[in-house]
Amino acid sequence: MKRIWLLIIAFACFNSNVSAQNTTLRVSLKNSTATSYYVFIPELTLGSDYLKKGAHTVHLNKERTGTLKLELEKPVFAYVDISSGDDNDSKEIHYYLYLSPGDKLDLLADLLSRKTVITGKGSNNNQPMLSMIEAEGVRSFYGDSLPDRIITAANKYQADLKSVFPKYIKKYKPSADFVNVESENIKYAAVGTYYDFKESNKFSNWRAYQKYGSIWTKIQDSLFSRVTLNNSNALTAFNYAELVSNFLLREKERLWDAARKDPANFYREYYNTDTAAGKKLFDADMQNLLTQKILEKHFTGPVQEYAYGILISEGLGSHSPENMVSIFDEFKNRFPDSKYVKWFSRAIDTIRQQETQPLSNEMVFAPGNGSMLHTFADVLAMAKGKTVLLDMWGTWCGPCRNEISNNGPAIKAYFKDKGLDYFYVANNDMGHDDAWKKLIAYLNMTGTHILANPALSKDIMRTVKGSGYPTYVIIKKDGTWELSKAGYPMKRDVLFKQLDAALAMK
């Protein structure tokens, strides 16, 4: 009996050890001056780098070698991006890896010949014969009005993978789990490549897309009909995990358009109510709640769990607190043992606390919320005799919220008692008064607030030649102004220098 118990204990210890094992990837470069390489694991990164779980910049030593160490509980696909480091003649190597718990891989990459050699434990799953096959020419297709070139490239990419895979299996004898996952990966190669390109390209050539959009969509629908969108067996596959992440974002964008073009059907299908009641819910949260409705409609089981992880990660990363607590609580009830519960609990508790913050006396609202202001000159009149940092933002604008959250406290600490005033002009937020004020309190945006009408937004951006949101303008005591030179993401020291100079004016 004692021996049996010892065996049981030993087996339990063995299981606990294999649940999470060390995995190492050592990359060595030839003919490169690069100082780092980049590794991206979509299943761990969850669409953004908020938790820094799966996006890694690995620094190289003087010998151009750098090692990434991971603790993995199960195999994952990873994308490795390596460059020559020479801006004048930049060459790149993109390598797909299948990392299993306990792997110890050595990858030697020659940037001149673009040849790679990979050795070590797990190398049978990662040889360049398969790992370096890519969709060719995609970057050069951006701006195309018609989908001819991209669909040809997407289909060729998938065909190349299908053709090489049997030869790869015969030559390298990869693990059974790799064969299963790579089979799923190949299934989603064409649809993932085409869908990602189409949804990005439409913004670079919007007028042509409006004309030929039906052609692009017809091909997309055909590709989607060949695969299963809700496929828990494919979650480890790189192309599938990326497709799920892309789908959540792009379907949300499509539904924003549907809310404008066909509101009755949109609100009935997604909010189960009439246009008036649905629009109120939609306007209060066009991000998190709508994404939840999309993932609830299209995904179940492990894929839905992964999609919730993306939703929560993106919401936290973009400082979008709307409905985040209730969404997380619902997710926690449905998936109580999910690793994402542990990952996000602390951040959600912070949101619970911040959401109780009220508006303060230091959050001043222009008369009528600024409804009588129509030109930049009207705003300059309000700022007469003051040095002002003017922030053109919007509650819907993720980069705006990021800049306010990441830089606002530091800016106000640096300029405390130095005579700097703050004007926040919210754009494209008319009718969202409650959400606007709630976010002001949540982000502790002390200063003067203006809810811009379309005329005011247009005049300010036209006058200052702003190219998007956020746009920062420095207004000086004498009524002159200049655009911030700090860029995006903000180079805080550059903004400090400009503001110090403005404050020094007599």
CB environment 52-71: b (16+ within 10 A), e (fewer): ebbbbebebeeebebebebe
Residue 204 near residue 197, CB atoms below 8 Å:
no
**With the CA atoms of 326, 327, 333 and 339 taken in that order, what torsion angle do they form, in degrees rounded to the nearest 10?**
-130
Q: Is it the case that residue 53 has pLDDT exceeding 70?
A: yes
Q: What pLDDT does residue 283 have?
A: 85
Q: Give the pLDDT band (50/70/90) at residue 43.
A: confident
Going along the chain from its start, the domains and CATH numbers come out as: 21-132 (2.60.40), 135-227 (no CATH), 228-354 (no CATH), 363-503 (3.40.30.10)
**Residue 369: per-residue pLDDT:** 95
Tokens of 336: 């109580």
Q: Residue 2 has what pLDDT?
A: 39
Would you state the pLDDT for residue 474? 97
What mean pLDDT do residues 107-132 have?
94
CA distance 184 to 178: 10
pTM: 0.85
Distance between CA atoms of 422 and 414, rounded to whole angstroms? 13
DSSP of 82-120, one letter per residue? EE---GGG--EEEEEEEE-TT-EEEEEEETTTTEEEEEE
Alpha carbon 344 to its chain's center: 16
Contact (CB, 8 A) for 92 and 75: no
pLDDT digits (tens, 9 = 90+) for 210-262: 999 999 999 999 999 999 999 999 999 999 999 999 999 999 999 999 999 99
For residue 50, give the DSSP letter. S
